[in-house]
Amino acid sequence: MKQRTIGREVSYSGIGLHTGKKVKITFKPASVDGGVRFVRVDLEGKPQMVAEVTKVIKASRETSLGEGELKIQSVEHILAALTGLGIDNLIIEIDSDEAPAADGSALPFAQVLKEAGIAEQKKEREYLELKEPVSYVKEDVYLIALPDEELKISYTIDFDHPVLKTQFASFVINEDTFVKEIAPARTFGFESEVKELREKGLIKGGSLENAVVISEKGILNKEPLKFPDEFVRHKILDLLGDLYLIGPPLKAHIIALKSGHGANVELVKKIHSLKRERIPLKKEIAEIQKRIRTKEILDIKDIQKILPHRYPFLLVDRILELEEDRKAIGIKNVTINEEFFQGHFPGYPVMPGVLIVEAMAQVGGILLLSKREHSGKLAYFIGIDKVRFRKPVVPGDTLRLEAEVIKIKGRMGKMTTKAYVGDKLVAGAELMFALVLRERE
């Protein structure tokens, strides 16, 4: 799927739910990789900020973003519309400190954006695909994101209230499902809370026009519910808005129980942190596999997409040959600038034997991790046998590193490795390994 923006500028006006202020919001097309940026046009200099979880300053009854003097409350319904419509790049100008409440749902925003036209851009979307479950649990609140091929939400709410008790809904999220089944669901609250919220200076713009209010006997609104389970659908809407703050669109099955904005944001923070890890995309691995099949050399950029190692511990410069599940050959150029030569040994620089073994192991790691199904894993070496060092390796040498699979069974395996300088064997070892998922903090 290509990245998307809108075809033309479009605006929407309303009042803020909590501030009661009149507000105009204008959506403008943005360039490829521009992301979503909020711009406060009512402030001097028109400050702007990216829509990202690092900018969250409040997540309770609503999600609010801030950076310096720029603050915007209640952005979740707008962001839910962007999630549902698959919009990646957008400029959002706003002339107040709270987004308009509209009718309490995301449908008015989705409609105005669709009127502007959804425009595909030239660059492919890059999705964030989970490699393992990510969860947030606190008391009776549960959120878990499971690896999946699409975005799916399964949500349960459970209230101790005579009218609203337990509701469950589950949807695969796409544009059609969002617009028809989720976007119309309105925000809701309990009549018993209204007085307390007003005393706190909240819901100044709240009314039966932009929220469903639930009493002990039923809803106070004249208009009937949009869906029998409208309340849990709105919770899904809120979650979709918070998920947009991850950045790249997410592929996962999210299971939620009694969650709200605070818990949503905590889960989003955990998932957002995965972006910083050097886990290759499936697309990158596919491109590398294509180069392997055509027997092309893999350079240092390719190697960094496969291995997590970085300076000063990345000890492979190039892969010359690679046969999947069988054999790999790489090289390491040894120079006097290597950090370890400062102490090993002054006046007589010799490459430590353990680092020669590590270099051989890294070639073995590339052999294992270049497979698509092993993307996002680590090759932990759990045993070394038959290690022999036959000749010193010194600055100016070029190590030719070979790794050949002896056997692989499940996530365990064994390989033989050798290191040459020219045609001389300088070291060799048999390595045992286990493939494991990368740990998350």
pLDDT per position as a tens digit, 177-215: 999 999 999 999 999 999 899 988 889 999 999 999 999
Task: Provide the β-strand partners of residue 111.
Answer: none
Contacts of 144 (CB under 8 A, 6+ apart): 133, 134, 135, 136, 254, 255
Whether 211 and 205 have beta carbons less than 8 Å apart is answered as no
* Exposure string over 323-338, b if 16+ CB within 10 A, otherwise e: eeeebbbbbbebeeeb
CA separation for the pair 292, 284 (Å, rounded): 12
- 3-state DSSP call for residue 406? strand
Instruction: Say which range, 94-108, 360-374, 387-401, has the weakest mean pLDDT.
Output: 360-374
Residues annotated as part of the active site: 261, 344
Q: What is the pLDDT of residues 365-377, one digit of tens each?
A: 999 888 777 766 7
CA separation for the pair 196, 192 (Å, rounded): 8
CATH 3.30.1700.10 maps onto the chain at 2-276
Backbone φ, ψ for residue 161 (5° rounding): -145, 140
Please choose, from the candidates 280, 373, 365, 283, the residue with its C-alpha nearest in 3D space to the C-alpha of residue 322: 365
CA 347 to chain CA mean position, Å: 49
CA separation for the pair 369, 403 (Å, rounded): 13
pLDDT at 310: 86
Tell me: pLDDT of 228 over 90.
yes
For residue 363, CA distances in Å to 113, 359, 368, 429, 434 come to 50, 7, 9, 13, 15
Tell me: pLDDT of 280 over 80.
no
Average of per-residue pLDDT across 35-52: 95
CATH 3.10.129.10 maps onto the chain at 282-437
Task: Provide the β-strand partners of residue 98.
Answer: 73
Look up the CATH architecture of domain 2-276.
2-Layer Sandwich (3.30)
Tell me: pLDDT of 172 over 60.
yes
- Please classify residue 262 by burial: count the beta carbons closer than 10 Å to its beta carbon, then call 0-12 exposed, 13-18 middle and 19+ buried: middle
For all residues of the chain together, what is the average pLDDT? 92
Tell me: pLDDT of 437 over 80.
no
Tokens of 13: 């006006």
pLDDT at 278: 42
- On the question of a cis peptide bond just before residue 312, with omega within 30 degrees of 0, the verdict is yes
DSSP secondary structure code for residue 30 in this structure: -
pLDDT at 440: 42
Q: For residue 358, how many other CB atoms are within 10 A of its CB? A: 18
Average of per-residue pLDDT across 344-353: 92
Please choose, from the candidates 338, 409, 404, the residue with its C-alpha nearest in 3D space to the C-alpha of residue 366: 404
- 3-state DSSP call for residue 239? helix
Please choose, from the candidates 383, 368, 360, 358, the residue with its C-alpha nearest in 3D space to the C-alpha of residue 435: 368
Instruction: Say which range, 51-55, 323-327, 377-381, has the weakest mean pLDDT.
Output: 377-381
Please choose, from the candidates 356, 363, 392, 381, the residue with its C-alpha nearest in 3D space to the C-alpha of residue 432: 381
Tokens of 406: 């002896």
Tell me: pLDDT of 169 over 90.
yes
Query: Selecting from 3.20.20.60, 3.10.129.10, 2.30.29.30, 3.20.20.140, what CATH number does the domain 282-437 have?
Result: 3.10.129.10
